[in-house]
């Protein structure tokens, strides 16, 4: 079975769905059984969500929208 150390090293790629099917399955099985790695996994997933939520919080200002519309109109 794949070791914790290896799982943690590849957690980013696992969460980003960048690993091939075989490794993905191996990690998935490991996570089912290993509380330690599972905790790390949950943390990374939730942090990724939190980053998205925190960083995509603003609407482009109206003044900017107007400027761009004007610019395209010329």
Q: Give contact residues for another protein (rule: CB under 8 A).
A: 8, 12-13, 16-18, 35, 38-40, 42-44, 46-48, 50-61, 63-65, 67-68, 71-73
CA 40 to chain centre: 13
Separation between Cα atoms, residue 20 and residue 57, nearest integer Å: 33
Question: Closest approach of Cβ 51 to another protein, in Å?
Answer: 4
| Nearer CB in complex with another protein: 1/64 | 64
CA distances 58 to 24, 35, 37, 54, Å, are: 35, 37, 34, 9
Question: Closest approach of Cβ 66 to another protein, in Å?
Answer: 11
């Amino acid at each position: 079975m794949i070791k914790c150390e290896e799982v943690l090293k590849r957690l980013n790629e696992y969460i980003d769905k960048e690993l091939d099917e075989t490794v993905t399955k191996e990690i998935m099985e490991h996570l089912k059984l290993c509380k330690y790695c599972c905790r790390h996994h949950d943390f990374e997933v939730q942090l990724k969500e939190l980053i998205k939520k925190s960083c995509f919080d603003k609407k482009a200002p109206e003044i900017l929208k107007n400027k761009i519309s004007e610019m395209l109109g010329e």
